[in-house]
Amino acid sequence: KRYAEAEKEYKQALEGDLANIFALVGLARVKRLQGKLREAIKWVRRAIDAFPEDLEPHLEYLEALLAEGDLSSAQEHIMGAQISPALKARLWLRYAGAALDAEEWVAALEASEKVLEQEPENAASLVVKARALRGLGRLGEAEEALRGAPALPDIENERGCLALAQGRLDEAENLFR
């Protein structure tokens, strides 16, 4: 019911302004959350066409593609997005997380490295990189990726997983505390 109400409000807003970015992206999000992914993509494409340099339409488009499980199209979209490198890094980070969830280790690793090119200290990307390397069995490289990283909970958890994977149980136990 709430989706139907939101859809109605967004469509009313578009009657007054066909290029209302909030309504276009909002309508796409409602459609995506309803599982109507093709409709979501249709609406968010309109937002991208009207606002090619804004992050939100690109992020919503990425979410719709990822909801379809289409990592390939998501990657192609990011590569072709006409947004600043700093904003593109946010798209790569979301993609990296989805690739990690799909156990697409190489894709996750490559995407995390694209984020780190823009933001070398990005903790979430460091964790994704280390997890991807661990998934590939490259434990030494994974540890190296986290060397010098701050002792944040997600980073410490990944350090613990790496220690555990290498049989260093006491170290892992201390990191998991």
CA end-to-end span of the chain: 44
Which pair of tokens denotes residue 128?
A: 């994704």
Helix axes 139-146, 153-165, angle to 10 degrees: 160
pTM of the model: 0.91
pLDDT digits (tens, 9 = 90+) for 25-71: 999 999 999 999 999 999 999 999 999 999 999 999 999 999 999 99
Q: 83: which DSSP letter? A: S
| Residue showing tokens 């958890």 | 157
Please report the pLDDT score of residue 1 as a whole number.
79
Is the predicted pLDDT of residue 166 greater than 90, yes or no? yes
Q: Is the pLDDT of residue 8 over 90?
A: yes
Summarize the confidence of residues 132-152 as an average pLDDT: 97
- Share above pLDDT 70 across residues of the chain, in percent, rounded to a whole number: 100
